[in-house]
Amino acid sequence: MNESGLILAPHSAMSIPDWSATKMLDNDPIYRETLHKTATPQEAWNYWKSKEAIRVGGFNTAVSARYRDSLDYPSLTFETDSYGGEARNPVFIDPKDPFSILTTNTFYQYSGSNAKAVSLVNGYRSSLQADDYRYWAMLNLLDDSASMGKTIGTAEMIEY
Amino acid sequence: MASRTKQYDGITEYSFIGYPDAMKFALAKEDLEKKILEASYGTFVAYDFDEVFDRGR
């Protein structure tokens, strides 16, 4: 997290690394640079697109920032691997709420610039699957809270 | 998780909650004395940005 309130949270994802790459860059320095130079999820994604870093493999990054004064979606999920990536916005897949995004260990938008690297390890899902249990657990919590008119605060997050 | 295993020797697990609008965040740490190996079950302590960022002062 940086002092603008930008947060990058790493989640591993499945994609075969580009073993032939010679200038592979670990995610830690990419994160550090991004936090140093950007303040919003959109700026962060533009920064990632401007750098030709070859990442170590499949990696989802939950990216969020201040939401009350945000001019765009306050959260994105960067779905990336050694070959490229895409930024998923909150209305791309359930819960389809501009202020709620869920990130787990699979890609839902990015099917792979090198499709084989992703498909061989089943890293991409074109829709929510029955065995995406972590995603369902969070989605059900959101739905239950919404139907009861409750918000999810710190206590609920910890308890869950 | 589980600092007692060799793989995590010397590594401490933290759990993090960000409150960007409030310019705060909270951290919890694993607690081996209380046998809490998952940091998220530890006690969260909140910090203000003014406590941790220099912010030009």
Bridge partners (DSSP) listed for residue A75? A64
pLDDT tier for residue B3 given thresholds of 50, 70 and 90: low
Q: What pLDDT shows up at residue B10? A: 80
Q: What pLDDT shows up at residue B36? A: 87
Identify the CA nearest to A93 among candidates A139, A131, A134.
A139
| Cβ <8 Å between B20 and A66 | yes
Residue of B21, B25, B52 to mutate for A, most A C-beta atoms under 10 A:
B21
Tell me which H or E stretch contains A60.
strand A59-64
pTM listed for this prediction: 0.91
**Tens of pLDDT, residues A124-143:** 999 999 999 999 999 999 99
Among A24-38, A43-57, B18-32, B43-57, the minimum mean pLDDT is found in B43-57
Does residue A9 carry a pLDDT above 90? yes
Q: At A31, phi and psi to the nearest 5?
A: -60, -45
